[in-house]
Amino acid sequence: MNVNECVQKGWLVRIAPDQELVHKELVESAYDLEKAGSALDDEDYKWGIVKSYYAMFHAARAILFSLGYQEKRHAAVTIVLEELHKQGKIESKFVTQFKAAISAREDADYHYTYSDVLARQSLDMAEEFTHRMQKLLNRADK
């Protein structure tokens, strides 16, 4: 599936690019990233994984708002990231990281599978991913 098909299916809605929404999503991303780190400090590995995913989700959502899209399904975010990779705007590892974060969050939430190691890996990915999305947004501003 591609971005146009997502729009046709209603998974993405075209909106005017909105810098206020971009900013709000980045604030939420930073908040979730901080809470993920705090959760690891508290040895709450499940919550660390969940918050790491949401830090990434909000950073990616900021990208969508900057491009003039609003997602109606989380899967649409992955499709937009894949499109950005095809366009050479982000490296493939960031698509892979996002997919891994989805899987880790689902495993933690629905299958009660989480650990110290996985939580730390999730946080490391979230830090790298959010930094890369911010860098992409900064380039778009210029």
Confidence of residue 1 (pLDDT cuts 50, 70, 90): confident
Residue pLDDT, tens place only, 34-92: 999 999 999 999 999 999 999 999 999 999 999 999 999 988 999 999 999 999 999 99
CATH entry, 3-140, from 1.20.120.330, 1.10.10.1100, 1.10.274.10, 3.40.390.10 = 1.20.120.330
* Mean pLDDT for all residues in the chain: 94
Q: Is the pLDDT of residue 100 over 70?
A: yes
Please report where in the chains the tokens 């810098």 appear, as a residue: 19
Q: Judge whether 69 and 15 are in contact, CB under 8 Å.
A: yes
Q: What is the pLDDT of residue 142?
A: 46
Q: Judge whether 92 and 85 are in contact, CB under 8 Å.
A: yes
Q: Is the pLDDT of residue 141 over 80?
A: no
Strands 12-14 and 69-71: antiparallel
User: Where along the chain do its domains lie?
Assistant: 3-140
Query: Can you tell me the distance from the alpha carbon of 102 to that of 115, in angstroms, rounded to the nearest whole number?
Result: 16
In angstroms, how far apart are the furthest CA atoms of the chain?
44
Helix (H), strand (E) at residue 70? strand 69-71
Confidence of residue 97 (pLDDT cuts 50, 70, 90): very high
Tell me the whole-structure pTM to 2 decimals: 0.94
- As a whole number, mean pLDDT of residues 103-113 equals 94
Listed in sequence order, the residues at least 6 apart from 79 whose beta carbon sits closer than 8 Å to its beta carbon are: 1, 2, 3, 6, 11, 12
Integer angstrom CA distances of residue 22 from 92, 114, 131, 137: 23, 31, 14, 9
